[in-house]
Amino acid sequence: MTRIEKLEAKLNRGEAVILLRPENRRYFTGMSTSNGLLLVTTDNAWFFTDFRYIIAAKSIVTKPISVSLFEGTIETLPYKIERIYFEDSYLSYASAKSFMEEMNSIEFVAGEALVAMLRREKTQDEINLISQAQQITDSAFTDILNYISTNKNKGITEKDIAFELEFDMRKRGASSLAFSTIIASGTNGAYCHAVPSDKKIMSGEFITMDFGACFDGYMSDMTRTVAVGEISEEKEKIYDIVLNSQLIAIKNIKAGLTGTQCDAFARDYISKAGFGADFGHSLGHGVGLEIHEGPNFAQSFTGIINANAVMSIEPGIYIENNCGVRIEDLVVVKEGGVEILTHSPKELIKL
């Protein structure tokens, strides 16, 4: 079955789904646009877009999806339906109110989960695109190690490292960044989502680098923490705890477990080592057309992780006014374990 057919199969006669989220439209149409609306019923699908994209849409979007020019009103939409599912976590109140007022005879129902569930299980084509994005990211990491090693005594800053990483990924074929690059050195490492600053790189500190590439719409995500020169025994201990917790999670995660169970593999190890309070985020998240999508390796995610979900595994320890360590790989969840898509070394590197 095609993706559209799988969505149609979830609907009953008289029901439809309206999709406005760019990633959802890209998932079903194969086309990225800043404007568009996809309407799907039990046996038909229409993609509406404006004048800027209509010619391209007619050549890219294929049957069974029909392409039509959308002039900014929904009055001409071919709806003769009783219930419409809409993207409740995406649609603004104003937009939802407009739809409901113009189609006041139709029941509107929160329907984000209909598409989210389909997107969680990646096809091999999707996995291949994510792998290509990750290859770009791995190569950029190799290059940035050389850059830091060569320039560490020349006053380079976190911003300098971010720029070099971003330029390298673009040069290697990334269509864009997957997200805003995180570079955090020294005490800034305690901030999980630190913004690269003018702080200079100093000997005896960690540098945490969290970055990713977008390739043909699909994202990569990896984090590596490296040391500049020699570091204290305390910092080495923290690094080893994070690394071992990640290796334990990678060894034990498999399809059929809940997100809570998967999260616990790393969290329990870190807690027993005495740093439970310093690991304040979830173990991982889904990655695909969006950098953060379902499912999740999290204490609060009690749902089952199905095979072919592409996930991050990223434990971390963050100590205020001291340092931070995070190590992150992308994996494909399988029935008997995981396939690792990230190939950069993660044993402690001292530059």
- Classified as helix, coil or strand, 51 is coil
Average pLDDT over residues 281-299: 98
Of the candidates 4, 24, 32, which has an alpha carbon nearest to the alpha carbon of residue 214? Answer: 32
Q: What is the pLDDT of residues 186-202, one digit of tens each?
A: 999 999 999 999 999 99
| Shared-domain flag, residues 162 and 66 | no
In a domain, 58, yes or no: yes
On whether the pTM is more than 0.85, the answer is yes
In a domain, 31, yes or no: yes
Question: How far, in Å, CA of 254 to CA of 297, rounded?
Answer: 11
Total structural domains within the chain:
2
Domain termination residue (choose one: 120, 148, 182)? 120
By the 10 Å C-beta count (0-12 exposed, 13-18 middle, 19+ buried), 92 is classed as: exposed
| Shared-domain flag, residues 108 and 154 | no
| Shared-domain flag, residues 109 and 128 | no
Domain membership of residue 35 as a residue range: 3-120
Of the candidates 168, 283, 172, 276, which has an alpha carbon nearest to the alpha carbon of residue 223? Answer: 283
Q: What is the pLDDT of residues 129-175, one digit of tens each?
A: 999 999 999 999 999 999 999 999 999 999 999 999 999 999 999 99
In a domain, 345, yes or no: no
Average pLDDT over residues 115-119: 94
| Shared-domain flag, residues 207 and 298 | yes
Domain termination residue (choose one: 120, 154, 182)? 120
| Shared-domain flag, residues 136 and 262 | yes
| Shared-domain flag, residues 176 and 238 | yes
Q: What is the pLDDT of residues 68-110, one digit of tens each?
A: 887 655 555 555 788 999 999 898 888 888 888 877 888 999 9
Question: How far, in Å, CA of 39 to CA of 117, rounded?
Answer: 18
CATH number at residue 80: 3.40.350.10
| Shared-domain flag, residues 83 and 207 | no
Question: How much is the mean pLDDT over the chain?
Answer: 94
| Shared-domain flag, residues 112 and 131 | no
By the 10 Å C-beta count (0-12 exposed, 13-18 middle, 19+ buried), 217 is classed as: buried
Domain termination residue (choose one: 120, 146, 166)? 120
| Shared-domain flag, residues 116 and 180 | no
Residue type, 19: L
In a domain, 350, yes or no: no
In a domain, 348, yes or no: no
Positive or negative, the CA dihedral 116, 120, 125, 129 is positive
| Shared-domain flag, residues 8 and 151 | no
| Shared-domain flag, residues 113 and 176 | no
